[in-house]
C-alpha cells in the first residue's frame, strides 16, 4: 500500500506545501520506501510509496512527458500490460509501474478511465491544461480513501488515504464511495462501477451454480494477484477462505517455479518467446511474452497465522500448511499484547466498530511480524462471507431474495469493515494485502448465481456450501485435493473468535473495568444518535475520540448481524455456533 494526500484549488498552494508534506508524512507508514510531491497550478499531490511493482522506476507522483498530467496512486493495476498494448495512441512510458497506464487511459477515455482498470486503487489525477482533477476509488473500496473540505478554504477539495491526513485541515470529511469517480468540472461524484447485481438489488438472479466456473474464476483472481517484484505470502487462519487462497497460491507458485526452471530464466525473468515462457505468462495473467518482471519467483510460499496459545485457527492453519507444503510461520500473542495495542489499532483503523477492532488487533500484530521477515505483500481471504452469505446469522435468512439483498448490502459496505481492516492493519506496517475474492470477474460470477443456491440448510448444506463444493475434487478421480476435508467443511469462525476465545472475553472484561454503568447510561452529547450499546463499544469510542475530532465519526459504521436481536457481533453469539458463549467454558 502507498499513501496519498492531495489538495485541489488551494488559494495559496506554495504556502500550503509544507502543511501538505506534513499531512503526507502522517501516512508514511503506508509507503516507507520513498516520498514525492508535485505542484501544478493551484493543486498539490503528495505520495508516500511502498514499492512492489516497478520498484526501480515507479516513484510518484507520475507525470507525462509534457508535464501536463500528474498522478498519485495507491494500489495495483493487474491488467496494466494489456491496457498498455491496447492504447489507441502511442504513449511514452517513463516507468515500469503498473499505475502509469492511468495517465494515457485518461487522455483517451477521460472520466471513463476507471472502468477499464482491473485492480485495487485510489488515485488523484490533475490535468494542468484544463486545471481539472479526477479522483477514483476501486469498485469495492479495497484501498481506503477519503474526501474532505474546509470551511476556512472554501472551494478547495482534499483527498487522502487516511483520515489522519485530513482532519487537521478539513472539518467536513466523507469516505470516498467505492466504484465512484470525482470530477472537479462538476464537483460531483459519479458511479462508474454499475453491474446489474449491484445497481438492481431487487432483480434476483436465476443462474444455476457452475462449480467449474466458480473454481477457475477464483484461481484466475489469485493468479493475477501474484504480480510482485518483492517477497510475498498468504495470511492463513485455517478457515475455509484463507485456506482456499493459500491452496491456489501454492499451486500457482509450484507451477510457476517449474516453468521458470524449464525456460532458462535468471532472477525470476523469462527471456525469449518459447512455449514455456508463453505458458508462464498465461498462468500469471501477464500479457507479455518477451519479459516477465512482475512476478517474484519464490522457492517456497510463505504462510502466516497468529493466535493466543492453542487458538483454534492456529491449529487448523498449521494443518493446512502441512498439507500444502508452505513455509509456515505461527505467531502467538498474549492478551496483554493485544490490550496494549488497542489505542494504536484504533488510531490506524480510524474506526470504533467493535467487530473491526476485535479482528484488527491480531492482524495488526501479525503484520508487524510479517514486515520484520522482509515480506511486503500478502494475499488474504476477505469478502467471501459477504458474497456467499457465510456469516452464521445467514442461517436465519427468511428467503433467497432476502439473502441476496443482504449479500449485496454487505459487499457494498465492505469498505467500512473488512476491507478497511485488512488495508489499514497491514498498511500500518508497510505491508500490502490483496483480496482475490473481491476480483471484479469473480464478483460477476458469484453475485449472479441464484441466491437459493446460497441458502443454508443444515446438515446437508452448511454456510458457503457452493464454494466448498466447487473445490471438493473427490468426484474427480486423479485430481489432487485442494484442502483436507476437515478444513474444507469446517464451520465458520469469525477471525476475532478464531484467534482464541479468550480474546473477546478479555476485551469485554477490560471494558467493564473502564466503563461504569453510569457512563454507559449517559453517553457524550457530541455523539448525538450514535450511542454505544455496550461497555466495549463505549470504551472504543472514547479511544477514537482521543485521536479524532467528532466530525470524523460520520465516516464510521457499526457492524451488526441481520435477522437477529443480538447486539454482540461475535459468531459465538449465534445459537448455531458449535462453541457459542454458553458453552465456551
Cis ω for the linkage preceding 489 (within 30 of 0):
no
- Displacement of CA 188 from its chain's centroid (Å): 25
306 is in an annotated binding site: yes
Residue 531: what pLDDT? 95
- Displacement of CA 258 from its chain's centroid (Å): 30
Phi, psi of 67 (to 5 degrees): 75, 20
Dump pLDDT digits (tens) for 318-348: 999 999 999 999 999 999 999 999 999 999 9
Dump pLDDT digits (tens) for 490-514: 876 655 566 778 899 999 999 999 9
pLDDT averaged over 10-residue windows placed end to end, the chain, 585 residues? 95 98 97 95 96 80 97 96 96 94 98 98 98 98 98 97 98 98 98 98 97 97 92 94 97 87 56 43 42 57 93 90 97 96 98 96 97 96 97 94 98 98 98 98 98 91 96 86 93 64 92 98 95 96 98 95 78 58 45
Distance CA 25, CA 505 (A): 37
Residue 533: what pLDDT? 93
Residue 294: what pLDDT? 52
Cα separations in angstroms, 224 against 119, 252, 299, 385: 9, 10, 19, 21
CB 50 within 8 Å of CB 27: no
pTM for the full model? 0.93
Joined together, the cell numbers standing for residue 471 give 473445490
Cα separations in angstroms, 329 against 73, 125, 162, 439: 32, 40, 30, 27
Tell which CATH architecture fits domain 3-194: 4-Layer Sandwich (3.60)
CB 164 within 8 Å of CB 134: no
Q: List, as one string, the DSSP characters of 496-517.
A: HHHT-HHHHHHHHHHHHHHS-H
235 is in an annotated binding site: yes
380 is in an annotated binding site: yes
Joined together, the cell numbers standing for residue 483 give 484442502
Joined together, the cell numbers standing for residue 256 give 510457476
Distance CA 193, CA 180 (A): 7
Distance CA 458, CA 475 (A): 22
568 is in an annotated binding site: no
Residue 347: what pLDDT? 98
Q: What is the largest CA-CA distance in the chain?
A: 74
Cα separations in angstroms, 101 against 4, 91, 141, 230, 234: 18, 9, 20, 21, 28
> Length of the chain in residues, anyone?
585
Distance CA 60, CA 116 (A): 21
Residue 269: what pLDDT? 46
> Which regions of 28-129 does DSSP assign to beta strands (E)?
34-40, 43-49, 62-63, 69-77, 119-127
Phi, psi of 562 (to 5 degrees): -90, 165
Distance CA 126, CA 130 (A): 9
Give catalytic residues, as residue numbers.
2
Amino acid at each position: 500500500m502507498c499513501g496519498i494526500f492531495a489538495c485541489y484549488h488551494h488559494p495559496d498552494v506554495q504556502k500550503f506545501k509544507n502543511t501538505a508534506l506534513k499531512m503526507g508524512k502522517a501516512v508514511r507508514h503506508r509507503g516507507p520506501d520513498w516520498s514525492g510531491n508535485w505542484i501544478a497550478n493551484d493543486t498539490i499531490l503528495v505520495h508516500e510509496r511502498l514499492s512492489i511493482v516497478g520498484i526501480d522506476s515507479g516513484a510518484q507522483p507520475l507525470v507525462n512527458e509534457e508535464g501536463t498530467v500528474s498522478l498519485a496512486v495507491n494500489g495495483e493495476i493487474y491488467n496494466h500490460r494489456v491496457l498498455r498494448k491496447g492504447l489507441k495512441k502511442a504513449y511514452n512510458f517513463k516507468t515500469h509501474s503498473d499505475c502509469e497506464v492511468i495517465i494515457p487511459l485518461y487522455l483517451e477515455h477521460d472520466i471513463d478511465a476507471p472502468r477499464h482498470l482491473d485492480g485495487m486503487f485510489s488515485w488523484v489525477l490533475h490535468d494542468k491544461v484544463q486545471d481539472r482533477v479526477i479522483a477514483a476509488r476501486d469498485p469495492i473500496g479495497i484501498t481506503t480513501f477519503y474526501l474532505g473540505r474546509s470551511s476556512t478554504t472554501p472551494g478547495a477539495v482534499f483527498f487522502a488515504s487516511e483520515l489522519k491526513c485530513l482532519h487537521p485541515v478539513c472539518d467536513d470529511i466523507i469516505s470516498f464511495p467505492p466504484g465512484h469517480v470525482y470530477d472537479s468540472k462538476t464537483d460531483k461524484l459519479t458511479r462508474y462501477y454499475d453491474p446489474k447485481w449491484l445497481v438492481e438489488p431487487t432483480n434476483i438472479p436465476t443462474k444455476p451454480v457452475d462449480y467449474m466456473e466458480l473454481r477457475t474464476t477464483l484461481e484466475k483472481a489469485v493468479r493475477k494477484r501474484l504480480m510482485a517484484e518483492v517477497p510475498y505470502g498468504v495470511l492463513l487462519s485455517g478457515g475455509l477462505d484463507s485456506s482456499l487462497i493459500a491452496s491456489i497460491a501454492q499451486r500457482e507458485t509450484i507451477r510457476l517455479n517449474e516453468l521458470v526452471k524449464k525456460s532458462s530464466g535468471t532472477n525470476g525473468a523469462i527471456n525469449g518467446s518459447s512455449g514455456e515462457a508463453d505458458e508462464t505468462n498465461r498462468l500469471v495473467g501477464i500479457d507479455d511474452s518477451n519479459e516477465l518482471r512482475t512476478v517474484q519467483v519464490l522457492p517456497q510460499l510463505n504462510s502466516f497465522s497468529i493466535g493466543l496459545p492453542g487458538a483454534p485457527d492456529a491449529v487448523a492453519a498449521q494443518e493446512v500448511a502441512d498439507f500444502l507444503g508452505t513455509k509456515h510461520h505461527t505467531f502467538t500473542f498474549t492478551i496483554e499484547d493485544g490490550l496494549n495495542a488497542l489505542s494504536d489499532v484504533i488510531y490506524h483503523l480510524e474506526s470504533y466498530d467493535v467487530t473491526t477492532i476485535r479482528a484488527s488487533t491480531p492482524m495488526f500484530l501479525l503484520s508487524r511480524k510479517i514486515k520484520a521477515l522482509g515480506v511486503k505483500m500478502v494475499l488474504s481471504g476477505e469478502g467471501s462471507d459477504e458474497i456467499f452469505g457465510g456469516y452464521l446469522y445467514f442461517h436465519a435468512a427468511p428467503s433467497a431474495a432476502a439473502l441476496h439483498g443482504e449479500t449485496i448490502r454487505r459487499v457494498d459496505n465492505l469498505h467500512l469493515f473488512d476491507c478497511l481492516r485488512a488495508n489499514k492493519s497491514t498498511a500500518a506496517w508497510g505491508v500490502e494485502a490483496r483480496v482475490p475474492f473481491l476480483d471484479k470477474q469473480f464478483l460477476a460470477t458469484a453475485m449472479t448465481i441464484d441466491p437459493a443456491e446460497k441458502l443454508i440448510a443444515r446438515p446437508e448444506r452448511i454456510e458457503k456450501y457452493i464454494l466448498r463444493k466447487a473445490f471438493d475434487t473427490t468426484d474427480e478421480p486423479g485430481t489432487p485435493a485442494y484442502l483436507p476435508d476437515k478444513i474444507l467443511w469446517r464451520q465458520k469462525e469469525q477471525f476475532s473468535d478464531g484467534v482464541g476465545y479468550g480474546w473477546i472475553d478479555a476485551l469485554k472484561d477490560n471494558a467493564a473495568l473502564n466503563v461504569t454503568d453510569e457512563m454507559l447510561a449517559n453517553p457524550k452529547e457530541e455523539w448525538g444518535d450514535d450511542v454505544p450499546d455496550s461497555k466495549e463499544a463505549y470504551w472504543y469510542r472514547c479511544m477514537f475520540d482521543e485521536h479524532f475530532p467528532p466530525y470524523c465519526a460520520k465516516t464510521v459504521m457499526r457492524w451488526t448481524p441481520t435477522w437477529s436481536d443480538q447486539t454482540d457481533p461475535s459468531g459465538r453469539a449465534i445459537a448455531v455456533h458449535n462453541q457459542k458463549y454458553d458453552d465456551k467454558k
